[in-house]
Structure 1
Amino acid sequence: MWPRCIVIPLINVILVDLEELYEFLLDRGAVPDVKGIHMLRISGLWTPAGTSLMLSPDSKQTALRMSMPDDSEGVLSLALQWKPEWNKRNCSSLPPSWIRLEFPAMSSTKVECRSDKDVEKLTINTSTSANGHEAQKHRNLYPDVPPPPSYSPSPTSLRFRLTSSSTHPFLQLRSPTYELRHEPVWSAPLPSLDGTRPTTTWLAPLSLTFGLSSHCPTTFLTLPTILHNLSRSSFMPCGILVLAHLLSPNDAPEWESPEPPKKNHLDTHERFITQQQAIARERLLPEAQQQQAARLRQSEELSAMGTRMRKEQRERVEREERREREAINSTKLQMDLVQTAALGFLEGEGLVADAKNESDNATGDHKDLTLTAVERLLVGIYRADVGIDAEENQWAVDACEMLDRWRDWVERGGMTKEDLRAILRDKHAFCWAAVAMGLVTKVIGEERTDGGGLLNDVRECLRVWKKVRLG
């Protein structure tokens, strides 16, 4: 599970593998120095001595820096200075390329404080009637997957690592483990790899996006092409957000034709006058002719009313179709604005906890609301994929299906009316998908900044400098 440790003598200068050194220091809690690593990428051996490459866990002191070449004949020379008081990592700390998902409080049983001995005695109860009911429901929905056990107490988080794969879906989730207060306690079910479920396509790529934007250690994996393609076309017509009531018309650029003038009330008044005049004339006729004239008038009035209603219905349909066309072709908004609108809706529905009131258990920092939402979405996708509470997590499957639709309209070069109507039918799924797409766009945008961002800088340095002199 853990990266292998390497022994680093500090007296003699030795050659070490730079990637192993980097991963080792990450695992010890060191923090990459963004500016120093970028300078190393662009300057190489001419990077000034003393340039910081990695910082202490509190980011206040230098742990790894450039040193004098000392006739190293083209080999990079580094100096390591690690202090014992920085060694605060434990079994709850994540190694590089591992990701942790916190289970939302609303769907997790409150776990009482227990001693380490109590944790060792935790058992899996598979004999309760409630578990039997869940197992039966699980078998009905996923006949090819064994029923999940019932854990007591309920896990509070899930950890797993991501690995690259040459086959679909190109990233795979490995070694999923349930945690109790960030300590691993049970093996968790593996997600499906058959690619037949919408959750299979999105679980690993979105997990990697979440890991790259959260407190998880830096990973060397690259986001798949599907996300890069989506990020380049991740704009959304403003009219669609207005039709979905996610954006006020006053906050959107002008996009729709003005409404036709209201119906002239004189027409109604004229019909009323004409009717009264006809009734007055009927009263002057003999009774038999009067009844016949009244039936004829009423028949004509009903026919005229039907014609007017059909005309109004046709005009209403034409107006709605024109509005849909104009919405699809309206001014496109940047993804951060779309994400903000979607987050506001989900927060208003009580589906995302307020980030001001919820802090990260590992760091004590306030969670970003976007990360909170994506984390909950990933938990829902995982549970739905492995068949745990599948019905309760159908919303996550719907979000993945919306992402599939999103990918389709990007690949075909534009949305259709059916895409728009799908959004209006399931606004919740669209908002979850929009929040995920907002995070994807942000992460990929940061990678492209300053020559590729920290990840690309690290990858390039590790590609160029295989072995370094360490002293």
Structure 2
Amino acid sequence: MSSTGSGYSATDIITFIGIPLAVLGVLPILYNTVATLAALSKIKRMLRHGRLTALTRSDVVNRVIEVELPRYAVTPCDRFEETELYWRPSRQPSSIPGGSWTTFNWQTRAIGAKTQRVEYADQLRQPQVDVAFDKLIAYLLDLGAIPDAHGWKLLRSTGLWTPTGCSLLKSPDGQHEALTIAPLDDSDGHLSLKANWSSHWTTRDFSSLPPYWVRLLPPPQPEPSEITRGVGPEETPSSAQGEAEEGDIEKGKEKRHSSLHKESLDSIQKQAENNSRATITCQISVEGLISAKSQEDEAVGSPINLQNLYIEHLRIRPGKTDGIWFSSVATAYGTTSQTVLWNYKIPDEILNFARRDSLPCGILVLLGVVDASQTPEWATNYNGQEEARDLFFRRSADQRAAIMAESKMTPPQREIAARDRMQREMNQRLQDMRDHSRLENQRRETRTSEALQSPKWDTKLVAEHNLHWLKRNQELAIASGVNITSDTTLRDVVGSLLHRMILDGQFASSICKMLDLWKSWADNGGMRRSDLEALREDQVVFALASLLVALVKDTSTAHEGTLSLDLQECLQMWKIVRLG
């Protein structure tokens, strides 16, 4: 082994230099290992705090941590079944960015997973959840949030270009932001939102009417005398039942079957009577009526004793307009009260029909709803009394002339002439009656034609006159199942009609058929004689239908560009959004 003049060999020099270099080369690996393990520990602690299940993998050499988190689709808890979870925020919300949705309790469904590669713990992002936009807004509004008109107007006009942090909903005091626009990092082209809520912000409870719901009060009950008039005496058990022979088994079975059948019918009738006196709340979504529940008045503020009602006859279906008419009128009924329905949009053709002047005023005169003096001049005036007087004078003059001529005749000739005169006068009277009848028919046809061509009135004016007519003819309204008193308002009647339409499918069908008929002649150039005959056959139904149209007209005259329209457009533009 050779040595240098310094006394160190080449091996020693290599050792002195190589070992420190080797140590320096290992230090980054050690640092990466320590830093990765520390970041992984912090990430797991964040996941445990947020009660999140995730798969974690780490590469200590490259200082990379892989976190696989599930992605969820969520929907708010059931307001009627999960009352405590619905009104209470989550006790342990996640603090990870993108997890603002964990502020609330949800019904969740896993729809996939997302893998993230991070280096530091603060780079971790919780996947946003998919949620129906209308359900999210309804939930926050139900808790007490208030819409920000500027935010919704900006979202409607700019869409995904809306600035991050723009407020859509605020806390009840208006000082904090409850729902804002979030960055589009994890949105995949969806609208991205961020939620914020505090337990003391909740200002509503179960007794409050939820958004998109309408409360329909029961119609006033008729007088007790009218109720008892249609109720027959109760059937009493036959005395022969107690005297039946013990061996007559078949007869006993028939009686038991009849008794059970009678009890079943009594139970159904009792339930129907209870529903007719109960308050009904119905939910209106973008697709129309989706739920209706009845509840006794004394239990309106309680989540118990709720009963789902049959609503299949009022669902929106292809080829049928019953559901569209009901949802449109119910939306108008809710929009004009303190409860604002923002998600269902009344079809434009119905709004245009409600705005249009479509009913000739002369038709209301023919139906006896208004007096001719209340309408503009539209009919030809005939002086029937003058014509009858002229005819009477002419016939009297002819008779006097014939009698004078008979007085100059011999008795045999006078008798023959008088007999001929009497026969001639009888024929003239018959002919005059036929002429009068034909003239009256012609004038009636002319009057009908003129009525069909008379000036058209708007639906609001038609409804006002029909309401007065119903109040004057209360017996006709009660016979049709509608109790209208002298102090009943148009809104009260419409609420009662919607209440009955849910419970009585046949009544709902008759109302909607009349509305279809009315809209048909309004869209096709005017009313025809067949339409007039249909109104005469069901005049009460027509009067009630006009009240529904008038309420829709009130809604159609709302200010354009209002908060409700902005919200409505946005909810239709984005069905599913990302929340996080």
Aligned to 2:281: 159
Aligned to 1:88: 204
CA gap 1:36/1:260 in 2 versus in 1, 3 angstroms: farther
Match of 2:157 among 18, 32, 42: 42
Native 8 Å contact 1:101 1:379 kept in 2: yes
Pairing 1:326–2:454 present: no
Pairing 1:458–2:568 present: yes
Letter in 1 for 2:521: W
Pairing 1:28–2:143 present: yes
Aligned to 1:316: 440
Cα displacement (A) at 1:432: 0.3
TM-score by structure 2 length?
Answer: 0.57
Q: Provide the rounded CA distance (Å) in 2 between the counterparts of 1:150 and 1:106.
A: 16
CA gap 1:67/1:96 in 2 versus in 1, 3 angstroms: closer
Aligned to 1:2: 79
Aligned to 1:143: none
Pairing 1:352–2:484 present: yes
Pairing 1:374–2:374 present: no
Cα displacement (A) at 1:330: 1.8
Bigger CA radius of gyration: 2
| Larger RCO, structure (CA 8 Å, separation 6 or more) | 1
Cα displacement (A) at 1:405: 2.5
Moved more, 203-212 or 327-336: 203-212
Native 8 Å contact 1:207 1:378 kept in 2: no
Q: Provide the rounded CA distance (Å) in 1 between the counterparts of 2:97 and 2:329.
A: 38
Q: Tell me the secondary structure at the aligned position of residue 246 of structure 1.
A: coil
Native 8 Å contact 2:218 2:499 kept in 1: yes
Aligned to 1:275: 399
Match of 2:529 among 401, 414, 417: 417
Cα distance per residue 1:50-108 (max 9 Å; x no partner): 8774573xxx7466478798999997777857673752312x33434333321112159
Pairing 1:239–2:316 present: no
CA gap 1:78/1:353 in 2 versus in 1, 3 angstroms: farther
Q: Provide the rounded CA distance (Å) in 2 between the counterparts of 1:191 and 1:67.
A: 36
Pairing 1:98–2:213 present: yes
Residues 166-315 of structure 1 aligned to structure 2 (within 5 Å): 171-181=288-298, 182=300, 183=302, 185-193=305-313, 201-202=321-322, 205-214=325-334, 215-216=338-339, 218-223=341-346, 227-228=350-351, 230-231=353-354, 233=356, 235-259=358-382, 263-264=386-387, 265-315=389-439
CA gap 1:269/1:153 in 2 versus in 1, 3 angstroms: closer
Q: Provide the rounded CA distance (Å) in 1 between the counterparts of 2:574 and 2:314.
A: 37
CA gap 1:84/1:370 in 2 versus in 1, 3 angstroms: farther
CA gap 1:71/1:161 in 2 versus in 1, 3 angstroms: closer
Q: Provide the rounded CA distance (Å) in 1 between the counterparts of 2:235 and 2:575.
A: 59
Q: Provide the rounded CA distance (Å) in 1 between the counterparts of 2:529 and 2:175.
A: 56
Q: Provide the rounded CA distance (Å) in 2 between the counterparts of 1:47 and 1:251.
A: 58
Letter in 1 for 2:380: S
Q: Tell me the secondary structure at the aligned position of residue 454 of structure 1.
A: helix
TM-score by structure 1 length?
Answer: 0.69
CA gap 1:246/1:267 in 2 versus in 1, 3 angstroms: closer
CA gap 1:313/1:432 in 2 versus in 1, 3 angstroms: same
Letter in 2 for 1:23: A
Pairing 1:343–2:467 present: yes
Aligned to 1:115: none
Letter in 2 for 1:88: R
Cα displacement (A) at 1:297: 0.8
Q: Provide the rounded CA distance (Å) in 2 between the counterparts of 1:306 and 1:466.
A: 80
Q: Percent identity, aligned pairs only?
A: 22
Aligned to 1:125: none
Cα displacement (A) at 1:186: 4.8
Q: Provide the rounded CA distance (Å) in 1 between the counterparts of 2:296 and 2:223.
A: 12
Moved more, 270-279 or 34-43: 34-43
Aligned to 1:112: none
Query: Structure 2 stretches of 5 or more lacking a match?
Result: 1-77, 102-130, 225-233, 237-257, 475-482
Letter in 2 for 1:352: I
Letter in 2 for 1:442: D
Letter in 2 for 1:231: A
Cα distance per residue 1:368-425 (max 9 Å; x no partner): x33211111122323322xxxx8xxx6x664344224224424543221121133234
Q: Provide the rounded CA distance (Å) in 1 between the counterparts of 2:179 and 2:412.
A: 113
Q: Tell me the secondary structure at the aligned position of residue 280 of structure 1.
A: helix
Native 8 Å contact 1:160 1:176 kept in 2: yes
Letter in 2 for 1:295: R
Moved more, 263-272 or 223-232: 223-232
Cα displacement (A) at 1:334: 1.9
Pairing 1:436–2:548 present: yes
Cα displacement (A) at 1:315: 1.7
